[in-house]
Chains A and B, each alone.
Chain A
Amino acid sequence: EVQLVETGGGLIQPGGSLRLSCAASGFTVSSNYMSWVRQAPGKGLEWVSVIYSGGSTYYADSVKGRFTISRDNSKNTLYLQMNSLRAEDTAVYYCARIGDHLYIDYWGQGTLVTVSS
Chain B
Amino acid sequence: EIVMMQSPATLSVSPGERATLSCRASQSVSSNLAWYQQKPGQAPRLLIYGASTRATGIPARFSGSGSGTEFTLTISSLQSEDFAVYYCQQYNNWPLTFGGGTKVEIK
Q: Does B11 contact A (CB under 8 A)?
A: no
B32 touches A101 (CB 8 A): yes
Given A44-B100, A45-B98, residue A105 in contact with residue B87 (CB < 8 A): no
Pick the interface stretch among A7-15, A65-73, A78-86, A106-114.
A106-114
A58 touches B94 (CB 8 A): yes
A108 touches B43 (CB 8 A): yes
B87 touches A103 (CB 8 A): no
Chain A positions near chain B (C-beta within 8 angstroms):
35, 44-47, 50, 58, 60, 94, 99, 101-110
Enumerate 19 A-B pairs (CB-CB under 8 Å) in ascending A order: A45-B44, A45-B98, A46-B98, A47-B95, A47-B96, A47-B97, A47-B98, A50-B96, A58-B94, A101-B32, A101-B49, A102-B32, A103-B91, A104-B34, A104-B36, A104-B96, A107-B43, A107-B45, A109-B43
